[in-house]
Amino acid sequence: MSKTDATAPAPGAGFDLLHFLARYGTILSLVLLIAFFSFMRPEVFPSMRNMFNVLNQVSILGIIAIGLTVCLVIGQFDLSIGALATFGGYVAARMLMEIGPANGTPMVVAGVVLAVLFMAMIIGIINGALVSYLGISAIVETLAMSFIVTGVILGISGSRTISPTEIPAAFKIIGQGNIAGIPNPVLIMIATALVLWLFLEHTQPGRNMYAIGGNKEASRLSGIPVKRYALVAMGICAACAALGGMVAAANLGAGRPQGVGETYLLNAFVAVFIGASTLRPGKFHVLGTAVGVLMIGVINNGLSVMGVPSFWQYIVQGVLLILALISASMMVLRR
């Protein structure tokens, strides 16, 4: 006997509105938002320049949120991504400052970027080890790790920001340059999304992660090394957070020891949870996260071009998140 999708309507049952809204409601909402803002500000919002502006604005958030998706796929949380984003941007800028702007060739910058990604991944692996092998709550442990990372950065920096003149131009190109008119941060976000989508959807480790997120005990009994995958997922999440922080530092042209990654922490969770109600209700996946990130970008940009007070951005995001969670919960209750 063949298996059937538990969320799919039975043949001949007619149009299932709840099933349609649960799978495509978020995408429909995104299309309606774009249409609404285009109608309200036709001279500004629907222009190609503004579309690239929206993508550029959410690129850093997208990189961090896509990495967080991998962590949530296996049922773990990581509240240290904000601190790790600040860590990535500041440490890369500090290393390049020590090397000297004149010596900051593209090869040197690439080496520094890889070194910072490796250090962030080690921190993520430590998070995974403490959570999976010692049974510590992921929320508590990663929150504690964020305090540690923040304290270390403030200690080594003396709360001093690294100025643009101390950073080589080759590093700033990462956040300020473009290829064929497409901003580099957007290209980095797309590349990150593509790599992790292929990893989760088309490799055996990715399928194992989905299995762990669906039923950890059944996965363990089937021979999947559940604890080991927590190290992998949280290592990837940490590396993506640091990458987002480096793009932010390159975009700003400065290495700030605080107040960088924290601005993306909550929005990253909002984007991922909105994405969990897209196409696969109740499941985290990269395509859904991409839709969630775009929705946040469209809302923020659209309300800004309309001159709406910024506090409405938070209200609208909160309402959309609640509606997305309600939609996913209804499908779970039906099943």
pLDDT in tens, 34-77: 999 999 999 989 988 999 999 999 999 999 999 999 999 999 99
- How many domains, the chain? 1
Provide the β-strand partners of residue 255.
Answer: 162
**pLDDT tens across 129-179, in order?**
999 999 899 999 999 999 999 999 999 998 899 998 899 999 999 999 999
Residue 13 lies in a domain: no
Tell me what pLDDT residue 3 has.
Answer: 45
Q: Is residue 18, in this structure, part of any structural domain at all?
A: no
Q: For residue range 188-214, what is the model confidence (pLDDT) as tens digits?
A: 999 999 999 999 999 999 999 999 998
Please indicate, yes or no, if residue 15 is contained in any of the structural domains. Answer: no
- Find the domain containing 53 and state its range: 24-334
The pLDDT tens digits of the residues spanning 10-40 come to 554 567 777 777 778 888 888 998 999 999 9
The token pair at 24 is 């495509």
The reply to whether 144 falls in a domain is: yes
* Choice between 214 and 87, residue whose per-residue pLDDT is larger: 87
Residue 50 located in a structural domain: yes
Structure tokens at 323: 């509606």
pTM of the model: 0.90
User: Do the beta carbons of residue 233 and residue 74 sit within 8 Å?
Assistant: yes
CATH number for the domain harbouring residue 133: 1.10.3470
Show Cβ contacts of residue 281 under 8 Å, excluding neighbours closer than 6 positions. Answer: 7, 22, 23, 327, 328, 331, 332
Q: What angle do CA 21, 27, 29 make, to 5 degrees?
A: 80
In a domain, 12, yes or no: no
* Domain annotation covers residue 17: no
The chain-wide mean pLDDT, for the chain, equals 89
